[in-house]
Structure 1
Amino acid sequence: MRKYETIFILHPSLDEEAVKANVEKFKGVIENGGGVIENVDFWGKRKLAYEINKVGEGYYTLVHFDANPELPKELDRVFRISDAVVRHIIVKNEK
């Protein structure tokens, strides 16, 4: 198991329930793929440094998790096909 962190930005037009549902969906992808979630930080609605597809703000969420090397590929695929995600990144923590 390796340590990873991901941060994703959800579209600002989503209501609070939809934001929570999307966060739970992504947590489920990690847990169902054999990963272990260490920490979830929901930062709330923040302004982006620059506009992405004419969107100037979004809901930020940071997740720290342990997983096998195949899980980030699946999580990346799920992020890419989700219309709610404005931007995401998955990083392997090296210590």
Structure 2
Amino acid sequence: MSLYEHVVISRPDISTAQVEEFVQNLATKIENMGGSVEGAEYWGLRNLAYRMKKNRKAHYSLLKVNALPDTIHEIERQHRINEDILRYMSIRVDEFSEDPSPILKKREERKRREERK
């Protein structure tokens, strides 16, 4: 099996709870196909660099997946059908980083700065 980092960008008009439920369902699908989800991060509602399907913001989620390539292809096929998903990207990696993603690191740094004030 291979290691993948899978990022999903979903529509801004769905709620955070719906995004988290979607990520849970996605993890269940991956596990049913023989893979495993090593970790998941919700990055929040963020501004887009350019408009995607008339949207200026979107919900970002990251999943760290250990699965066969066929599983990733099937998940991406299902993403193309789902209207709530604006974009997705899967990248094969050699190993998962133990540190939080740069997005979460930046968020933690902001919180620390606010606490100092």
TM-score, normalised by the number of residues in structure 2? 0.76
Q: Which residues in structure 2 correspond to 1:53-68 (within 5 Å)?
A: 53-68=53-68
Q: Is the 8 A contact 2:52 2:86 kept in 1?
A: yes
Q: Which residues in structure 2 correspond to 1:26-45 (within 5 Å)?
A: 26-45=26-45
The structure richer in strand per residue is 1
Please state if 1:77 is matched with 2:77: yes
Runs of at least 4 residues off by over 2 Å: none
> Which consecutive residues of structure 2, in runs of 5 or more, have no partner in the other structure?
96-117
Residue identity (%): 31
Offset, 1:17:
2.6
Of the two, which has the highest radius of gyration?
2
> Which consecutive residues of structure 1, in runs of 5 or more, have no partner in the other structure?
none
Alignment: residue pair count: 95
